[in-house]
Chains A and B, each alone.
Chain A
Amino acid sequence: KAGVTQTPRYLIKTRGQQVTLSCSPISGHRSVSWYQQTPGQGLQFLFEYFSETQRNKGNFPGRFSGRQFSNSRSEMNVSTLELGDSALYLCASSPNRGGRETQYFGPGTRLLVL
């Protein structure tokens, strides 16, 4: 079974631009979560989508948004990019929601904001 895929793998943007990242979950998985990873803060939860609805949101500004499609694929968008948004953005999928579900991660998208 194919794993979680993320595109693009690398991205360079300038301050003020916006960016859209894509995630395809493992086949049959319906929950998709997004995380930001930086050297200083580690892995931080952004949001979770299930059945095309945002179910949970981390402590990030409104510039960070996302959506999920009927086939469970998900996108996240960051508007008005800031230098501090440079990070590895990770997508994870699980079969369902809940606190006992294992999340499987994709390879990530490395975003550099100049």
Chain B
Amino acid sequence: EDQVTQSPEALRLQEGESSSLNCSYTVSGLRGLFWYRQDPGKGPEFLFTLYSAGEEKEKERLKATLTKKESFLHITAPKPEDSATYLCAFFITGDSGYALNFGKGTSLLVTP
């Protein structure tokens, strides 16, 4: 069964303290792994798409990497405005189409 698991569930960092969020998956035929950021009361905001093992993408203080079994979201020198829930997802194939299968997310709090 296709599954995605995110860890840790919650993470508290001090400003400037770098860390990584993990997204492990079991899926046959990965078509793309997606990272989103979600602020409270808002819809998920797209960050990255990774398609193949070894691929990396960067945006400001964020860097996403992908292996055959997991993806990491590295946060370098985070700032309080990076506080949010980070979601990873991949497409699963249903009887007649595709749907994004989301992990439960990692809630990140960055304190000054």
Contact = CB atoms under 8 A, between A and B. Distances in A.
Contacts, number: 70
A103 B43 contact: no
B32 A99 contact: yes
Contact of B93 (A48, A50, A99): A99
**Which of B32, B41, B89, B97 is the most central at the interface, judged by chain A CB atoms within 10 Å of its CB?**
B97
Given A57-B94, A97-B98, A98-B98, A105 B105 contact: no
A110 B46 contact: no
Contacts of B98: 48, 56, 97-99
Interface residues of B, number: 28
B99 interface: yes
B97 A48 contact: yes
A90 B97 CA distance: 19
A93 to B, nearest CB: 11
Interface of A: 4, 33, 35, 42-45, 48, 50, 55-58, 88, 90, 92, 97-100, 102-108, 110
